[in-house]
Structure 1
Amino acid sequence: MNVRHTDRTRRRARARSRSRIALAAVFAGSLVLTGCTIGSGGADDGQVAEAPAEPSAVIDVSVEDGSLDANPAEPVVLTARDGRFDSVVMRNPEGVQVQGEFNPDLTEWRTTEDLGYSREYTLESTATDDAGLVTRSTVTFSTVTPRVLTAAYLTTGQGATVGIGQPVAVMFDEPIADRRAAQDNIHIRTEPEVEGAFYWVSNQEVRWRPAEYWAPGTTIDVDVDIYGKDLGGGMYGQENVRSDFQIGDAVISRVDDSTKQIVVERNGEVIKTMPTSMGKADTPTPNGTYVIGEKLASMVMDSSTYGVPVDSPDGYRTPVQYATRMSYSGIFVHAAPWSVWAQGSQNVSHGCLNVTTADAKWFYDNAKRGDIFEVSGTVGPTLPGWDGLGDWNIPWETWKAGNADAGTA
């Protein structure tokens, strides 16, 4: 049986071989026929096969691959020409994805958050053209590394109501090398619109005010956009800050040395009169216009803070109540129960305006930052504008001309 099975196998193999030969002959004939039918254009005519099509989409990136000084505050923008984006993924060194968004037709993508200083980012994107061909792009770059960072502070808090004399005041925690660059990135909007100008009272503080006192009801919006900005010598802004505030009632206090009476007006109406004792002859209270600053329920006044030793004849270290600041140099309206006998008749202080405890508390409760206080008739000089709360003692033409390009304030 095994032999018969083998024979059948051989016969079947010979049959299959004959079939293959016949098929091969037919196939060869078809090749010949086909070759005759095509004519020119065949491989025998010397034609070279076409190369695969190249994608037509081009991806443009706003930062250069390998850049080491990209600005972290400027959006990274990708644009697809002759195609649409399929995906864009940007990651920081920790692999966290940076937020961004496409435009409606998927031809542009941009970051929607600031980047960090001195950080490396990788950007991978793909775009597809109308033929369905895909273009890929990978870009790696780093942001600028600052020599030092500076923080900015606004003295007027968000939503505050301040007096008619309050300037916009921006303080920095480092001396600014390029004051022009700093002030050019401070943006101020007022309603109604008011002409104003910047003036530097020191290399760490710049102020902006109008020519005249603010009108009550004016609103002011301030944006200090210093993040990503070089403020000179490789110093960059640490972060942006902003505030909006409004001008309240017009409160003006006046005192003339001839009367030694503080007269307080609100919107043109006298609301309070208080006897006072100002600076004695050798420590006179400066004349001029002051802007009310901070208020302290209690504090210790120390002569050593302005160079007079506590143990010297004119030295002191005295706790006081209800102190309302009038100048950076240390002029306050404050409670002075020890000088009630002289208030309204003699000047016995070291420069401050002494009043009774009750009057000091009233002034503390009713005065607000930015209110005006005018002092006249003393034997002292005029409070300098650079004192910090003497802004209105600088003539408008001088203030308007500015001093951003000066070496020092």
Structure 2
Amino acid sequence: MTGRRMRLMGIAAAALACVLVAAGCSPSSGQADVTDPAFVTTPATTAAASTPSSSQVTVTVPAGTTSDTASGGSTSTTPEPTTPTTPSTSSSTPPPVPAAKVTTTPATGSKGISPVAPISVKVAEGTLQKVSLKNSQTGVTVEGKMAADKLSWTVTPELGYGKNYTLTSTAVNAEGKASTHETTFATITPDNQTDASTFPRDGWKVGVGQPVSVVFDEPITDKKAAQDAITISTNPKQEGAFRWFSDSEVHWRPKVYWKPGTKVSVKVDIYGKDLGGGLYGMQDEAFSFTVGDSMIAEIDDNSKIMVIKKNGAVIKEMPVSLGSNTYPTYNGVHVVAESYEEKIMDSSTWGLTGTGAYRTRVEWAVRISSTGEFVHAAPWSVWAQGSENVSHGCVNVSTENAKWFYDNFTFGDIVDIKNTVGTDLQSWDGYGDWQLSWDVYRQGSA
């Protein structure tokens, strides 16, 4: 054969080998290799491949094709068709900005809200732009306070009993998109209300023995709630305690007599407070007073002399006539509660009528118990003062001494009486608070 024909035959043989390989066949061990250096295929380089010699023909087997070399033959499986994979691309669209989230207290639709409960609006994922609280019945807007960072709004007003309100707020999210939120609620309508009277009066100067007194015009079933609504502040600080003397009257006194010069502030914040059984406070009370000099009158029935001390120093003495053995004066610490230039003394007010009864006008009368004991002028008994007891329980002194006592003793000053044949003053009688030891007194707290 000529060289041209040999070359053509070599090309044909190589093409046949490619067809056989593509069909999954491999030449038998007896077949000759194609060695024409003009027909050599160079494979792609891989980590496991080695570079073929110039006399080898390297054919890449399609994926899914297998070769069985142990039997000297070859088997193949048809490759699974594959789905072209589309390259993934990252989205350039940012996530949506969340809306401002507004929370209100109370929640919308709430009923029976205390008229002094705190009202608030808070926002997340944004800021508050405007908040209004409006009485739905009157249209009156209640002023509130926006926080500097505009994340909250609060108000603690007296909203009134039995009122309906609408709370409207506008908030914007991070991209400035506004949203409006509306909440409605109603305040409590009490079954009953109570008012409180207090003593001493605002701005007064009182004696070292004056308790704080709060008297309600309705019986209190939840004494703890009522007591918690009362705040006593003293300067300088003094330890004290509450004691309930009835279902409607509570006192507060210091452990020992007030220090002269003490300033006392009292708040009775009962408005909007549930005091038990559907009873709510009608209005709050607040007052302040100052403690003056320590004025203490000590009376010993053995001597029948009143010794008066101012801030611990004796400044005056005067003879007295106390209650007779039939109507003895009570022993114990009495507290001045009232003063009169003139007073009708009527024995029927404490149960004495008929024989021995009286109705007498006296001067310079200073009350020291609620059962009728006074220090007062008794010119008719001057002869007995300092030596004999002839009264119906009062402390009789001369007109001159009665005037001095009236001028110098005030609410809360002390008259301490001892050694009479009578019983002890009861703690509920006037301001008999000091008749109880400290431990016993504070056991009366709610």
When the two structures are superposed, what TM-score results if normalisation uses the length of structure 2?
0.75
User: Which of 296, 305, 321 pairs up with 2:363?
Assistant: 321
Q: In the alignment, which residue of structure 1 is the partner of 2:99?
A: 56
Determine if contact 1:55/1:135 at 8 Å carries over to the other structure. Answer: no
Indicate the SS of the match to 1:392: helix
Structure 1: how far apart are the matches of 2:152 and 2:314? 63
Superposed displacement of residue 104, structure 1: 1.0
Amino acid at match of 1:135: S
Structure 2: how far apart are the matches of 1:103 and 1:242? 29
Q: Does 1:111 align with 2:155?
A: yes
Within a 5 Å distance, the mapping from 1:204-283 to structure 2 comes to 204-283=248-327
More relative contact order in 1 or in 2 (CA 8 Å, sep 6+)?
A: 1
Within a 5 Å distance, the mapping from 1:8-157 to structure 2 comes to 56-92=99-135, 93-157=137-201
Offset from partner CA, 1:47-106 (integer Å, 9 cap, x none): xxx9xx786112211112222210111221111222222222212221111121111122
Structure 1: how far apart are the matches of 2:297 and 2:143? 53
Determine if contact 1:101/1:112 at 8 Å carries over to the other structure. Answer: no
Offset from partner CA, 1:310-342 (integer Å, 9 cap, x none): xx2233332222221111222111122332332
Determine if contact 1:99/1:112 at 8 Å carries over to the other structure. Answer: no
Structure 1: how far apart are the matches of 2:102 and 2:340? 60
Superposed displacement of residue 392, structure 1: 0.8
Indicate the SS of the match to 1:85: strand
Determine if contact 2:97/2:174 at 8 Å carries over to the other structure. Answer: no
Structure 1: how far apart are the matches of 2:403 and 2:186? 57
- Could you tell which deviates more after superposition, 331-340 or 66-75? 331-340
Q: Does 1:347 align with 2:389?
A: yes
Amino acid at match of 1:75: P
Determine if contact 2:260/2:292 at 8 Å carries over to the other structure. Answer: yes
Structure 1: how far apart are the matches of 2:303 and 2:104? 72
RMSD: 1.9
Structure 2: how far apart are the matches of 1:267 and 1:65? 61
Determine if contact 2:208/2:291 at 8 Å carries over to the other structure. Answer: yes
Amino acid at match of 2:305: Q
When the two structures are superposed, what TM-score results if normalisation uses the length of structure 1?
0.81
* Gap regions ≥5 residues in structure 2: 1-92
Residues 301, 203 of structure 1: CA spacing in aligned structure 2 closer, same or farther, 3 A cutoff?
farther
Residues 190, 276 of structure 1: CA spacing in aligned structure 2 closer, same or farther, 3 A cutoff?
same
Structure 1: how far apart are the matches of 2:170 and 2:106? 17
Structure 2: how far apart are the matches of 1:184 and 1:76? 22
Amino acid at match of 1:60: T
Higher helix share: 1
Q: How many residues align?
A: 351
Q: Does 1:193 align with 2:242?
A: no
Indicate the SS of the match to 2:401: helix
User: Which of 347, 350, 354 pairs up with 1:306?
Assistant: 350
* Gap regions ≥5 residues in structure 1: 1-49, 405-409
Structure 2: how far apart are the matches of 1:314 and 1:137? 79
Superposed displacement of residue 403, structure 1: 4.4
Determine if contact 1:55/1:133 at 8 Å carries over to the other structure. Answer: no
Indicate the SS of the match to 1:77: strand
- Of all paired residues, the percent bearing the same amino acid is 48
Indicate the SS of the match to 1:202: coil
Q: In the alignment, which residue of structure 1 is the partner of 2:15?
A: none
Determine if contact 2:113/2:187 at 8 Å carries over to the other structure. Answer: yes
Superposed displacement of residue 112, structure 1: 4.4
Offset from partner CA, 1:105-124 (integer Å, 9 cap, x none): 22211124211112111222
Amino acid at match of 1:79: K
Q: In the alignment, which residue of structure 2 is the partner of 1:330?
A: 372
Greater Rg over alpha carbons, structure: 2
Amino acid at match of 2:262: T
Structure 2: how far apart are the matches of 1:233 and 1:308? 40
Superposed displacement of residue 264, structure 1: 0.9
Q: In the alignment, which residue of structure 2 is the partner of 1:382?
A: 424
Indicate the SS of the match to 2:158: coil
Q: Does 1:370 align with 2:415?
A: no
Determine if contact 2:211/2:431 at 8 Å carries over to the other structure. Answer: no
Amino acid at match of 1:315: A
Determine if contact 2:210/2:412 at 8 Å carries over to the other structure. Answer: yes
Superposed displacement of residue 374, structure 1: 0.5
Superposed displacement of residue 215, structure 1: 1.9
